[in-house]
Amino acid sequence: MNPADPVLSLIRPEILALTPYSSARKESSGGRVWLDANENPQTPSAGKPLLNRYPEPQPADLVARLADYYAVAPENILVTRGSDEGIDLLLRAFCRAGSDSILITPPTYGMYAVSAAIQHAAVVSVPLVAAKNFALDAGAVLQAAQPGVKLVFLCSPNNPTGALLDRTAVLSVARALLGRAVVVVDEAYLEFAGTRSLATELTAQPNLIVLRTLSKAFGLAGVRCGVTIASPALIGVLQKIIAPYPVPTPVLHAALAAVSPEGLAAARASVQSLVAERRRLAAALAALPAVRRVWPSDANFLLFETTDSARVMSATRAAGVVLRDRSRDHGLANCVRMTMGTPEENNAALEVLARV
């Protein structure tokens, strides 16, 4: 590894120097009689598929299909336990406890700050511009990205606001920070926006990292399968610190089915129907007396400002309809987030909201 690399030079030196655990599956593949990994030769409970063997650390067939789907090389891919694990790995790789920090743009996804706290990294906040549909303030981000800020987390489309960040603004931040910080673009909801991923810019912009997930468009939140897309050198570093077997065999099977041609077609149809629901619900919510405004969304949820979020939350809770109160998030007083469910579920929510 070349420590003069503009990204590797930002990694914690002890991680760069780390000799990772060498698992049995890493050390040898092939062979006929497997007696190297202290596995049981049978699965006594005899389930299918057989689960007695440790899985490949990064299953090559899944990595190849994901690379195809995300239009990058297999060397750019790390499969993780949800994209939440990708966030945690990045914090651990880049931030020295007690001295380094991350930058976030509130209101945004809560796990960036939580993973930072676990790693004892400070959090610098540069709010999105509410008056411009929660746009990125690239100038303010660059001003706040002092030495010590190692990771800039940008969520696009952003949770909980729903808006895509401007591609040019994100790229301008990454360009200006090359050699100083890494820009992590969390694209968990990108399929619902119908736009190009920033992963296509990876080769030109090596300090860009993209996070994707099978939890949203593929409807596999229960499977816990996320993807970190980055330069091969950085993927190599993350492979040193990830747990030895992060892709359990049942997860592998579910993920392979999801990115098969049939799985991809099904996911596309699902995204289309959820986007249609988003359109219908945005109009329906906007017409309700308890709703002041509905923010435009590129994701599978809508954020709306209510006249009184406490009343909305207690009325919906009493009716068994579970929404997410976002009123304590930066700049989101009285705001509530609603995920797009089935048309029946959405109608049930509308009915209760109409009575608030």
Residues near ligand PLP (CB under 6 A) are 82-84, 109, 155, 159, 186, 188, 213, 215, 221, 226
* Closer residue to ligand PLP (CB): 34 or 245: 245
Residue facing ligand PLP at closest CB distance: 82
Sequence-ordered list of residues with C-beta below 8 angstroms from that of 339, at least 6 positions apart, any chain: 300, 301, 324
Least distance to ligand PLP, CB of residue 221, Å: 5
Least distance to ligand PLP, CB of residue 311, Å: 26
- Residue 46: count other Cβ atoms within 10 Å of its Cβ: 7
Least distance to ligand PLP, CB of residue 108, Å: 8
Can you tell me the distance from the alpha carbon of 294 to that of 354, in angstroms, rounded to the nearest whole number?
15
Count how many Cα atoms sit within 13 Å of the Cα of residue 349 in the half-sphere of its side chain: 23
Least distance to ligand PLP, CB of residue 84, Å: 4
* Closer residue to ligand PLP (CB): 256 or 354: 256
CB 282 within 8 A of CB 294: yes
Of 214, 231, 245, the closest CA to residue 93 belongs to 231
* Closer residue to ligand PLP (CB): 311 or 328: 328
Q: 49 preceded by cis ω (within 30°)?
A: yes
* Closer residue to ligand PLP (CB): 145 or 211: 211
Identity of residue 262: E
3-state SS assignment for residue 217 = coil
* Closer residue to ligand PLP (CB): 190 or 284: 190
Q: What angle do CA 247, 67, 89 make, to 5 degrees?
A: 50
* Closer residue to ligand PLP (CB): 96 or 324: 324
Least distance to ligand PLP, CB of residue 318, Å: 25
Least distance to ligand PLP, CB of residue 188, Å: 4
